[in-house]
Amino acid sequence: MSGDRNAISKRTYILSISCLIAGVILIIMATQSKYMPFHLTFIGTLNIIVSYGITVREKWALYLALFTSLVSLLFGLITLAAIVFLGVQYDFINILILLAIILYIALSSALLLHVIFQGISFYKSS
C-alpha cells in the first residue's frame, strides 16, 4: 500500500519525461552551436534536475519546477517572438523549429499549471 501512495501519477511522469527530453535537447543544441549559449545549457540542466526531482518526489522539486517552468516560458516566448518578428523564411526546417518552440512553451505551461494545482501533494510524504 505504501508503494501506491508514493507512486507518481501518469501526468506527473509524462511531465517529468518531457523535462528530461527538453533538457537533453537544449544541451545538445548548446553544444552544436557556433558559440556557447550558456542560457541553453543552464535551462537544459535545470530541466534535467527538475525531471529527477519530480521522479523521486522531493520537496525541493516543487520550487525548482516552478522556477524552471517560469524561466522556460520566458525563454520560449522571447525566442518565439524573436523568430516571428525577425521575419525568417518559412521553409520546412524553420516551421519544425517553430512547432518545437510552441510545444516547449506548451509543456512548460503544463508543468507550471501542474505544480500550481498539485501543490503540497506534489512531493512524497515522509
Provide the terminal-to-terminal Cα distance of the chain, rounded to the nearest Å.
Answer: 15
Q: Which long-range contacts (CB under 8 A, 24 or more apart) does 36-42 make?
A: 39/75
Most confident range, picked from 55-59, 102-106, 111-115: 102-106
Q: Take residue 3 and report the three cell numbers written for it.
A: 508503494
How do residues 13-42 score in pLDDT, each as one tens digit?
A: 888 899 999 999 989 888 887 777 888 889
90 vs 106, which has greater pLDDT? 106
Q: Output the pTM of the full model.
A: 0.81
* 123 DSSP assignment: S
Residue bearing cell 548548446: 30
| Half-sphere exposure of residue 115: CA atoms within 13 angstroms, side-chain side | 26
Predicted pLDDT of residue 68: 92
Q: How far is CA 81 from the centre of its chain?
A: 18
How do residues 53-78 score in pLDDT, each as one tens digit?
A: 888 888 888 889 899 999 999 988 99
Q: Take residue 13 and report the three cell numbers written for it.
A: 511522469
